[in-house]
């Protein structure tokens, strides 16, 4: 909502603009041809193709560019070394985990094989099986005079003789 003094100032300004507009000369506007096309953008710009021969030019060496190139190569090598240092422990841990798991699988396999072999050995060395094999081969229990006990080879005298 406008205040009363602002309303009066605005109406006075409108009246002044109308009086100025009526005193100003109006620009004469040319009437446009309805069949004429409007101008295209950049229609007044012309491009010329000029042949340029740069075969005689020799490129001048820029010592600053060479130093910047070596600096970029050095920075890339440092970044590569840092990334390798950061990634190496995790890769090593992963590979060690794979190796550990394969060793555990091999250990389980060997335990199973050992149990199987112990079971087979127990079956082969069972007294009932040995008696059965002895009967098939006509073996009998030896009599008391048929058993000969050999001397013990672990005697120290024997060892001394072997050393000399």
Which pLDDT tens digits describe the chain residue by residue (164 residues)? 555 555 555 666 666 666 665 666 666 677 878 888 888 888 888 888 899 999 999 988 888 898 999 999 999 999 999 999 999 999 999 999 999 999 999 999 999 999 999 999 999 999 999 999 999 999 888 888 888 878 776 665 555 555 54
* Phi, psi (rounded to 5 degrees) for 11: -70, -35
CA distance 162 to 153: 11
Give the DSSP letter string of 11-65: HHHHHHHHHHHHHSPPPP-PPPPTTSPPPPTTTT----------TT--PPP-HHH
Domain extent at residue 79: 69-137
Residue 17 included in any domain: no
How many folded domains does the chain comprise?
A: 1
Residue 109 included in any domain: yes
Residue 94 included in any domain: yes
Residue 9 included in any domain: no
Residue 52 included in any domain: no
Model's pTM, two decimal places?
A: 0.41
Residue 87 included in any domain: yes
Residue 8 included in any domain: no
Residue 132 included in any domain: yes
């Amino acid at each position: 909502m406008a205040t009363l003094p602002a309303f009066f100032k605005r109406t006075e300004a409108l009246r002044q603009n109308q009086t100025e507009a009526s005193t100003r000369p109006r620009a004469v506007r040319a009437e446009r041809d309805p069949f004429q096309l409007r101008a295209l953008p950049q229609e007044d710009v012309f491009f010329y193709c000029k042949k340029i021969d740069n075969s005689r030019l020799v490129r001048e060496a820029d010592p600053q560019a060479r130093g910047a190139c070596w600096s970029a190569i050095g920075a890339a090598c440092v970044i590569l070394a840092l990334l390798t240092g950061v990634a190496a422990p995790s890769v090593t841990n992963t590979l060690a985990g794979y190796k550990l798991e394969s060793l555990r699988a091999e250990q389980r396999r060997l335990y199973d094989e050992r149990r199987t072999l112990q079971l087979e050995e127990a079956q082969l060395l069972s007294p009932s099986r040995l008696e059965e094999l002895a009967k098939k081969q006509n073996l009998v229990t030896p009599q008391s005079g048929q058993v000969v006990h050999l001397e013990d080879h672990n005697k120290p005298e024997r060892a001394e003789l072997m050393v000399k």
